[in-house]
Homo-oligomer: A and B are copies of this chain.
Amino acid sequence: MSRKFPQLRRDPIIDRWVLIAPERASRPGALVAHPDELPDHDDDCPFCEGREVRTPPELLAVRPINPRPNGPGWKIRVVPNRYPAARDAVGSHELIVECPRHEVSLAHLSAEQIAEVFRAVRDRMRSRKEEGQWRYAQWFKNHGTAAGASLSHAHSQMICLPDVPPIVQMEVDAVNQAGECLFCRLGRVEMETGERVVFDDGEYIAMAANAGRFPFETWLMPKVHQACFDEVSDRGIPTLAGTLRRILQRIDQVLGRPGYNLILHTGPWTQADFHWHFELLPRITGIAGFELGANIFINPVPPEEAARQLRG
Contact = CB atoms under 8 A, between A and B. Distances in A.
Interface of A: 6-8, 15-17, 19, 21, 23-24, 26-30, 83-87, 90-91, 136, 138-142, 145, 147-150, 157, 159, 161-162, 165-168, 261-265, 279, 281, 286-296, 298
Count of chain copies:
2
Contacts of A296: 161, 165
A54 B286 CA distance: 25
Closest 8 CB pairs of A and B: A148-B288, A140-B289, A263-B293, A167-B295, A165-B294, A148-B286, A261-B289, A27-B83
Given A7-B90, A140-B288, 8 more contacts: A17-B165, A23-B83, A85-B298, A157-B290, A161-B296, A167-B295, A262-B289, A279-B292
Contacts of A159: 290, 294
Contacts of A262: 289
Given A166-B15, A289-B263, A293-B140, A6 B148 contact: no
A288 B146 CA distance: 8
A269 to B, nearest CB: 15
Given A165-B294, A168-B294, A83 B289 contact: no
A83 B157 contact: no
A232 B19 CA distance: 30
Contacts of A139: 293
Contacts of A91: 6, 8, 19
25 contacts: A8-B86, A8-B162, A15-B166, A19-B91, A21-B84, A21-B85, A23-B83, A26-B83, A27-B83, A29-B150, A30-B150, A136-B294, A140-B289, A140-B290, A148-B286, A148-B288, A148-B289, A149-B288, A159-B294, A168-B294, A261-B288, A262-B289, A263-B292, A263-B293, A281-B292
A156 B293 CA distance: 13
A23 B261 contact: no
A25 B290 CA distance: 27
A17, A149, A286 — most chain B CB neighbours (10 Å): A286
A148 B289 CA distance: 8
Given A261-B288, A288-B142, A23 B84 contact: yes
A261 B90 contact: no
